[in-house]
Amino acid sequence: MDRRPEDAIVREQLGSLTEPERDALSAQLAAENSDPALIRLWRYLARPAQLAPPGNWRLWLVMAGRGFGKTRAGAEWVRALARRNRFARIALVGASLAEARAVMVEGESGLLNLGPPEQRPVFEPSTRRLRWPNGALGLLYSAAEPESLRGPQHSHAWCDEIAKWDMAGGRADNAWSNLVLGLRLGRQPQAVCTTTPRAVPLLHRLMAREGTVLSGGTTHDNAANLPGDFLAAVEADFGGTALGRQELGGELLTEVDGALWSRALLERCRMGDPEDAPERVVIGVDPPASARGDECGIVVCAAYPGGHAAVLADCSIRGASPEGWARAVAEAASAFGADRVVAEANQGGEMVRAVLSAADQTLPVRLVHARRGKIARAEPVAALYEAGRVRHAGQFARLEDQLCGMMAGGTYEGPGRSPDRADALVWALTELLLTRRRAPSVRRI
């Protein structure tokens, strides 16, 4: 006789089913209008880190890698809560209203797609409300509009990607504070936060909060439910990097004391694709110091009105011949419509000029001479980040690892022997924001 707990036995039996067999079982339970059975099914199918912890907790923080199943965990918690409590008033807070709707409500693991159709909520876009058949309510909010959370009362809350909330002007902290102050309905108000870890102050604040229960996991924990192409792509982008430990491993990266750039600073600078047309596009190039397969830093940056700039792409290449990395520069210039290449003359800059000419590129090349060390050149550029004048249009794992390894004391403590990508970024942003451009003038004769 098997003396294991019933949960362990059922979990093993369900685990032996193929994905189509699980889908068929879920469809059968839904057809039978068996919502309690579906909720039990999730309890058996879910990994322990996806299930709400026992006990009298106030905040459950699910901090895990991309594709772990955080959204499903949050949505299943809300669904079970709404089913058993018709008086529930649940705040659904996303980084923006568009993201809250697209992910938390209408996404594949969103609230409109869980449970039998008869038990699903009705979404009212005009009022930003979800209404369950028994009377439970969900209300959508944007963390970018903290004042919208001032006043409303709730019994529960689900906050998605809380580490991604807009930190400008203290919006993220204000949104959280206003939410918590209104979390006062019912006997046991609770909040669930699902997020990929990022080194931002609000996440550190929640982790240090008394009564927080933390669950975590990695992208690969959910490999059975993820496409192989996705896993291969994210490993190619983030594998072997510190940022990969964060985005895939679900690890909250610690800051290095004395670094010119911090993870929190880079997260504050994160943005989507720029909407405005750039005034200039420059490619910074840090040629390899030797022909032994060192990395060539190739970073594309653009200037925008108002004295701001954005990092658009990291096209750096490793192990290429001089002709190979110079041609990579030419290809990046063509792809992004660059109007200038800035290359360090000390280490092969003339090669870039020669290959661009051979490729029929009319792009001007400015050769610069490194009179100071990489760290000294980087310090004024780091100050531009602190002033909010530089944004990152995406995540650049290897480049950002190098930036966070550049120390104010003049040393480099990041990956690799030299911060080639970071130096290429410094050359490009120096050209865009720190180099004085002489205005045309008429000389009196």
- What pLDDT, on a 0 to 100 scale, did the predictor assign at position 56? 87
- What pLDDT, on a 0 to 100 scale, did the predictor assign at position 135? 96
- Judge: domain 46-229, CATH 2.40.50.100: no
Residue limits of CATH 3.40.50.300 in the chain: 46-229
- What pLDDT, on a 0 to 100 scale, did the predictor assign at position 224? 81
- What pLDDT, on a 0 to 100 scale, did the predictor assign at position 46? 81
Each residue's pLDDT, cut to its tens digit, for the chain (445 residues) gives 445 444 454 455 555 556 566 556 555 555 545 554 445 567 777 888 999 998 889 999 999 999 999 999 999 999 999 999 999 999 999 999 999 999 999 999 999 998 878 889 999 999 999 999 999 999 999 999 999 999 999 999 999 999 989 887 889 999 999 999 999 999 999 999 999 998 888 998 999 888 899 999 999 998 888 888 889 988 888 888 888 888 899 988 877 788 999 988 998 898 877 778 999 999 999 888 765 557 899 999 999 999 999 999 999 998 888 888 888 998 999 999 999 999 887 666 677 777 767 765 667 888 888 777 888 889 999 999 999 999 999 989 999 999 999 998 788 988 888 899 999 999 999 999 998 765 555 555 5
- What pLDDT, on a 0 to 100 scale, did the predictor assign at position 413? 85
- Judge: domain 263-434, CATH 3.30.420.240: yes
116 residue type, one letter: P
Angle at 36 between CA 31 and CA 38, to 5 degrees: 55
Give the contacts of 282 (CB within 8 A, at least 6 positions apart): 300, 301, 302, 303, 338, 339, 340, 341, 342, 428, 431, 432
* Contact assessment for residue 286 and residue 423, using Cβ atoms and an 8 Å cutoff: yes
Give the contacts of 304 (CB within 8 A, at least 6 positions apart): 274, 276, 278, 279, 310
What is the 3-state composition of the chain as percent helix, strand, coil, each rounded to the nearest 5? 40, 20, 40
Give which of 374, 333, 329 is closest to 350, Cα–Cα.
329
- What pLDDT, on a 0 to 100 scale, did the predictor assign at position 18? 61
Residue limits of CATH 3.30.420.240 in the chain: 263-434
143 residue type, one letter: A
Q: What is the DSSP letter of 18?
A: -
Cα separation, 402 vs 406, in Å, equals 7
Cα separation, 48 vs 266, in Å, equals 32
Which token pair is 194?
A: 């699902």
425 residue type, one letter: L
Count the residues in the chain.
445
Q: What's the start-to-end Cα distance of the chain, in Å?
A: 107
Give which of 192, 227, 215, 212 is closest to 104, Cα–Cα.
192
Cα separation, 87 vs 185, in Å, equals 9
- What pLDDT, on a 0 to 100 scale, did the predictor assign at position 16? 55
- What pLDDT, on a 0 to 100 scale, did the predictor assign at position 47? 86
